[in-house]
Amino acid sequence: MSKRIGMEIAMAAAEAVALCRPDVIAAYPITPNTHIPEHLADIVADGDLDCEYIAVESEHSALSACTGASAAGARVFTATSSQGLLYMYEIVPVVPSMRLPVIMCLGNRAISGPINIWNDHSDYMCVRDLGWISMFASNGQETIDMCIQAFKIGEHADVMLPVLVNLDGFQLTHVVEAMMMPDQEEVDKFLPPRKPFAALHPDNVVSMGTLGLPDIYNEAKKANDEALINSKKVILEIWKEWETMFGRKYEPIMSYKANDADVLMLTMGSMGETAQVAIDELRKEGFKAGLLDLKLYRPFPADELKKAVKGCKNLIVIDRAVMSGGAAAPVCAEVKSVLYDEPDRPVITNDIIGLGGRDVRVEDFIKIFKKAAKAKPERAYEIYGVRG
Amino acid sequence: MIEVRWHGRGGQGAVTSVELLALTAIGEGKYAQGFPSFGPERRGAPVAAFNRIDDHHIKVRSQIYNPDVVVVLDESLIGMVNVADGLKPEGVLIVNTAKTAKEIAEITKFKGKIATVDGSSIAWKELGVPITNTTMLGAVIKCTNAVKIESVKDPVDHRFGRIANKNMAAMKRAYDEVKFN
Amino acid sequence: MTEKKWPETWQDTNPGLMIFKPGSSRSYLTGGWRAQKPIWDNTKCIKCGVCYLFCPEACITEDAEGFFMADLNYCKGCGICYHECWPRAIKMVED
């Protein structure tokens, strides 16, 4: 039976990962994901989890160790943030190309510089195109759930890909709140032991991470891209199974009061619920406002997005990262690309909010909403609340 | 929804206070958030920490700008930090001090309800250390009725183990001794 | 796991380009790249094995008496063994 608990979300993520019985954890704690690997190290040291915890000297080694262990057939986990992710960057695209289901929690944090330890999505945006399935949690419950789902999705025979569970640094990692924590029996029932497609073993020799010359690289890339695109089918199946088992529904794009909305906002991560409160306020004022919350960023849910915006006149895309010198902020650029061919696409505006830990308040969403309703801005995107 | 802002110094346990209050409320079947002012921890620096308590799942994840309750763990912060900033007029300011509520009202210019308790003396007597976080939790519970004082026992036991009883004793004294203007 | 033939299409590739047949690089004979080959003068050879250690192809082997020779199926004739052999027991000759 699941138990209602109060706990810091990072620690709860660690407990959820421990319930998945990982064989190997290699991590180098960095703010703000620190408590995830620290608490897992406690759980292993206390003898509550039979797992090899490798205290590595860097993130590059953390993901390298995870890659090796996963290739040997182990169930593996790591966690990082910001500069740590950049330090392991070299290995990040290797993992999906080797089709290894490494699971990683990314405690989203701004990247330097200026040096900043607070939350935004700029770390994730560096790795979004490298082949990992990517989900964004908007509260503690979703963090726990996605951590457990991630193993089942990534290890599925039709997927075999790494999964990134994004949780906003501080805004989620450091908050104590109430969650339903599944018990060991439930997780064991949901998540069987990993059955690797192939594993490094002297009795059954296999070469992994092979060279791809120009005559095969194209085909290898295409195969990986197809695997990522096709993983959505499995993700949806597993989310359905989760809903049946635990009663909590997951969709690539969750909507809130969106059915009859003229104006929709689209957010990702912990902003989602704060934005819901803004939608409630706007509804009270008579605006037909609604919210789309992007839970699955890779593979990008293009069909779901097209369906979700049908009938709405304005779409306000809220980004939490800058795509420097780009055509729009990252989420919006993709949204626009998806909707380009739609005959009655909405007018799309793009605001960047909450960079480097700038607080995101209910009234900020209301202001953005009212501004977008007035006139189309001159620039393709704006950094909301910037002074000057 | 009740929103609480705690003021303390790094190392005085403001974060522990918000954890205990959140866990207590959650233990009672309520919903709660407890979180620090996000950032690096520096011993001695003025810090804030926050609680939200409600009967429903809490969606807002911003910091708290208009609290119902402000708790000051360290009197020396008054004057250094505008502790009453944004505090609702009908809210309450709870201060660890040997001064009277009237004196605190003069210094802080807060015209609403003020509660005072000499938490430092209580903590010295009951715990032997000048750490007032659990002590002041007693005063907060008395002033807000956000949770029942008995409900704190489980989280305090879990957190403090052998010294849980001393913390509970300090908390109960502050609960009984807190004075209002 | 059965090995697929050389993949023509992306659908034919093994996941992650894994290779299930060990030692497949042995079937790739690089000896044909060679212009010169090393020969050993065993009267000068002191059996130090420095040629064996330095050979980038790892194609030098030791015989029962402790002398060395190159497997010409793989030796590319790079001359590193010749360069490293300090008793000057190795000569590079036209192949």
Long-range contacts of B124-131 (CB under 8 A, 24+ apart): B125/B170, B126/B166, B126/B167, B126/B169, B126/B170, B126/B173, B127/B163, B127/B166, B127/B167, B127/B170, B131/B12, B131/B13
Confidence of residue C2 (pLDDT cuts 50, 70, 90): low
Task: Evaluate whether A314 touches A272 at the Cβ level (below 8 Å).
Answer: no
End-of-domain residue from the set A246, A280, A305:
A246
**Which CATH number belongs to the domain containing residue A312 in this structure?**
3.40.50.920
In a domain, residue A188? The reply is yes
In a domain, residue A169? The reply is yes
Domain around A141: 3-246
User: What is d(CA A36, CA A109) in angstroms, rounded to the nearest whole number?
Assistant: 15
In a domain, residue A315? The reply is yes
DSSP C19: B
pLDDT tens digit sequence for C36-52: 999 999 999 999 999 99
End-of-domain residue from the set A246, A274, A307:
A246
Of all residues in chain A, the one with the smallest CA distance to B23 is A6
**Residue whose C-alpha is closest to residue C49's, from C63, C37, C31, C34:** C63
Q: Are residues A86 and A159 in the same domain?
A: yes
Q: Are residues A242 and A273 in the same domain?
A: no
Task: Evaluate whether C36 touches C77 at the Cβ level (below 8 Å).
Answer: yes
Q: Are residues A261 and A358 in the same domain?
A: yes
Q: C8: burial class by Cβ within 10 Å (0-12, 13-18, 19+)? A: exposed
* pLDDT score for A378: 82
pLDDT at C1 > cutoff 50: no
Q: Are residues A73 and A121 in the same domain?
A: yes
Q: Are residues A189 and A274 in the same domain?
A: no
| Chains B and C are in contact, defined as 3 or more C-beta pairs closer than 8 angstroms | no
In a domain, residue A242? The reply is yes
Q: Are residues A236 and A378 in the same domain?
A: no
Q: Are residues A329 and A371 in the same domain?
A: yes
pLDDT tens digit sequence for C55-67: 999 999 999 999 9
DSSP A287: -
Architecture of domain C30-94: 2-Layer Sandwich (3.30)
Of all residues in chain C, the one with the smallest CA distance to A227 is C15
Distance from CA of C80 to the nearest CA of A (A): 25
In a domain, residue A388? The reply is no
User: What is d(CA A251, CA A236) in angstroms, rounded to the nearest whole number?
Assistant: 7
Average pLDDT over residues B61-72: 97
In a domain, residue A11? The reply is yes
Is C43 at the interface with chain A, CB within 8 A?
Answer: no
**Which CATH number belongs to the domain containing residue A169 in this structure?**
3.40.50.970
> Which domains can be identified in chain B, with CATH numbers?
2-180 (3.40.920.10)
**How many CB pairs below 8 Å do chains A and B form together?**
73
Q: Where are the domains of chain C?
A: 30-94
The chain-wide mean pLDDT, for chain B, equals 94
In a domain, residue A311? The reply is yes
Percentage with pLDDT > 90 across chain A? 97
* pLDDT score for A10: 98
> Under an 8 A CB cutoff, do C10 and A198 touch?
no
End-of-domain residue from the set A231, A246, A261:
A246
Question: Is the alpha carbon torsion for A244, A246, A249, A251 positive or negative?
Answer: negative
User: What is d(CA B86, CA B137) in angstroms, rounded to the nearest whole number?
Assistant: 21
Q: Are residues A215 and A305 in the same domain?
A: no
Question: If you write DSSP's letter for every residue of A194-231 in order, what string do you get?
Answer: P--SS---TTS--B-S----HHHHHHHHHHHHHHHHHH
Of all residues in chain C, the one with the smallest CA distance to A203 is C22
Among C18, C25, C27, pick the best mutation site for testing chain A contact (most A Cβ within 10 A). C18
Residue A209 phi/psi, 5-degree rounding, is 65, 45
**Spans in chain A with pLDDT lower than 70:** none
Q: In sequence order, which residues have a C-beta less than 8 Å from that of residue A267 and are 6 or more positions away? A: A275, A291, A292, A293, A294, A318
Q: In sequence order, which residues have a C-beta less than 8 Å from that of residue A57 and are 6 or more positions away? A: A28
User: What is d(CA A123, CA A110) in angstroms, rounded to the nearest whole number?
Assistant: 6
Least reliable range by pLDDT among B43-47, B104-108, C14-18: B43-47
Q: Residue A124, Cβ neighbours under 10 Å: how many? A: 27
What is the domain count for chain A? 2
